[in-house]
A and B are shown apart, each in its own frame.
Chain A
Amino acid sequence: MTRKPFFLRSPSVLVVLAILATGTAAITLLSAAYGSGVVPTSTVKVLGMTLCLALAALATDLVWGYLGILSLGQMAFFALGGYMIGQWLMYARTETIVAANLAQGAIPPTAQELQDATANQIFGVVGSADLPLVWSFAHSLPIQLLLVVAVPGLLALVFGWLAFRSRVNGVYLSILTQAMTLALALWLFQNDSGFRGNNGLSGLQNIPGLEDVDQARLSVWFLWASTLALGVFYTMAAWIVSAKFGSVIRAIRDDETRVRFLGYPVEGFKLVVFTLAAMITAIAGALYYPQAGIINPAELMPIASIYLAVWVAIGGRGRLYGAVIGAIVVSLLSSWFTGGRAPSLHLPGYTVNWVDWWQVALGLSFVLVTLFAPKGIAGLVDLIDRKGDRT
């Protein structure tokens, strides 16, 4: 470990930042709101959401590729981030609408009446008219923003402390993380959980206070925000893993017993990385769901977290750009193939309809990558690098 400047130790950072900046600038100039309109608003949203998924994949790579814990519960943190910001979005917007309605009456409504009417509006669908305790701070944007990182962070901290302290490892730990996300999903599915059961939270694309800004412009703003978040956290993650801390966590991945005999508190390191990754994932979720417009408990079913792991594996785990490439490429391909626009493949005697066959193809490519290209798509960079050495 020499004293090279950060950007020389992690050359991928500048490349990723440059690609993100040019890509976002190009989309902005092609968008309906700020440019020619070649790229429709719905596509801008898909791209923005894809960047959020890439951020979640980046966090997954920190935990899996660097620390060696295959977490199959990352989407729990992603969705919790979404729920936390969703509470404010839904509450503040409903309150505005309700206030406008009540203002037509003869007497101006009291604060209590306003709150009751808002609660009735939000929770009528699950047969309740009271504001649940978990919505106590829904009126406050700063508090809900704090909860976006605090709630998933605390969950990761408590879960991680219990699991790592008992030295649960490998596949057993993966199963535990999956059980955690499933339990959380099943709880959220209940109507009396306080999060509207299977209805989830909706109308999140409408940002309170920004009613005058149309979706075309909002979509570009969120694209910028998502780019910024990915850029900032990519740089931060690269900074962390390029120094001694990264060295220690990779050592834990490869032989944690040996790291203990070097005197490092292994559990402490795991806890720091797991919690940090949970908070990054939650921020990604908080940016994703206002673009998606709706969140419900199905989002944190275990399969979603498995997809995340598959993206990281295909992209190339153990390097940060691998996770980003995997998430962007595979999730965009997924939405193209399952969107019904991909032309069917006409084989003699059978027509491959991609909507049905995409999952099979994805599963197959996962198996093939695991067997034959463990470095994933990012492994191609090595080939280019090596060629560069020779010439």
Chain B
Amino acid sequence: MSSLLEVRGVTKSFDGFRAINDLSFQIGGAELRAVIGPNGAGKTTFMDIVTGKTRPDTGEVLWGEHSRSLLRMNEAQIARAGVGRKFQRPTVFEDQTVSDNLVMALKAARGPFAVLGWRPTTASIARVAELADEVGLGSALTRTAGELSHGQKQWLEIGMLLAQEPRLLLVDEPAAGMTLAERELTTTLLRRLAETRAVVVVEHDMDFVRRLNCRVTVLHQGAVLAEGSLDHVTRDQQVIDVYLGR
């Protein structure tokens, strides 16, 4: 299996505390992966490193067929290379309409002058409508994002991620604050997305991870403790000791 993202021997310390300790991680081009671990295991730092928000002290982060190093790129360049990130707290632009939010996320040239010359086309309008329908906001296109409910904002953000057409999607605790029905929808969506791209879900909620029914990576103290199916890792004595057995 050729990997889309390869993290190799990455270490990151904050004031002497090793948040990430010689971490290695791989994911293929079309795969769903759950990353679990107790608080402070380094899940968020791991995502920060991949998306360029944090620079590691040592190690390598390689991307794509040509194994380009993501460490030499800034956040925007990494995003343009095809890494999308969904934050735990829904972050949409509350001041603007649902349609404006989606248009901004739509895959297109990102430079200031290209954006200056950008005008909506029949295709872009159709795509925005299609995305909005997909996340259940088809009738809310002209509404201001700030007026949406918490759940709708989550869906709008997911719609924006879809509009970006990323090759790797990093999703931070998607189940947080969702109703049972919404979790069901989210699970279906994530699994469908993983058919065509890599999806990494960082999650706390074991029940939700079970629903995802995918390969699981367990992080502990900034390193990979175990990897495999959920049943496999839950039988691992170390995992039981540090995480599940609490």
Contact = CB atoms under 8 A, between A and B. Distances in A.
Contacts of B87: 258
Nearest to A273: B112
Q: Which among B87, B103, B110, B160 has the greatest number of chain A C-beta atoms within 10 A?
A: B110
Given A260-B79, A261-B85, A245 B164 contact: no
A333 to B, nearest CB: 30
Given A2-B120, A2-B125, A263-B164, A247 B103 contact: yes
A264 B116 contact: no
A269 B111 CA distance: 8
Contact of B119 (A240, A243, A258, A260): A243
A255 B110 contact: no
B76 A264 contact: yes
B21 interface: no
Interface in B88-127: 91, 93-97, 99-100, 103-105, 110-113, 115-116, 118-120, 125
Nearest to A253: B95
Contacts of B99: 1-2
A254 B80 CA distance: 21
Contacts of A139: none
Contact of A262 (B95, B105, B119, B120): B105
B51 interface: yes
Given A251-B93, A258-B91, A264 B110 contact: yes
B190 to A, nearest CB: 19
A248 B118 CA distance: 12
B100 A247 contact: yes
Contact of A255 (B51, B75, B91, B103): B91
A254 B145 CA distance: 13
B76 A260 contact: yes
A272 interface: yes
Contact of B75 (A2, A250, A260): A260
Contacts of B95: 250, 254
A255 B93 contact: yes
A248 B79 contact: no
Contacts of A3: 119-120, 125
Nearest to B107: A263
Contact of A263 (B76, B94, B120): B76
A113 B163 CA distance: 69
Contacts of A170: none
Contacts of A257: 53, 75
A268 interface: yes
A244 B110 contact: no
Contact of B120 (A1, A240, A255, A264): A1
Contact of B80 (A255, A263, A269): A263
Contacts of B128: 1
A303 interface: no
A27 to B, nearest CB: 35
Interface string B12-23: 000000000000
B220 to A, nearest CB: 27
Nearest to A252: B93
A271 B118 CA distance: 19
B104 A244 contact: yes
A266 interface: yes
A265 interface: yes
Contact of A251 (B53, B85, B96): B96
Interface of A: 1-3, 240, 243-245, 247-248, 250-251, 254-255, 257-258, 260-266, 268-269, 271-272
Interface of B: 51, 53, 74-77, 79-80, 84-85, 87, 91, 93-97, 99-100, 103-105, 110-113, 115-116, 118-120, 125, 128, 160, 164
Give 9 nearest A-B pairs by CB, closest first.
A263-B79, A260-B75, A263-B80, A272-B112, A251-B93, A244-B118, A1-B103, A268-B112, A258-B91
28 contacts: A1-B99, A1-B100, A2-B99, A3-B125, A243-B118, A243-B119, A244-B115, A245-B118, A247-B93, A247-B104, A248-B115, A250-B93, A254-B93, A257-B53, A257-B75, A260-B75, A260-B76, A260-B79, A261-B51, A261-B84, A262-B110, A263-B79, A263-B80, A263-B164, A264-B115, A265-B110, A268-B111, A268-B112
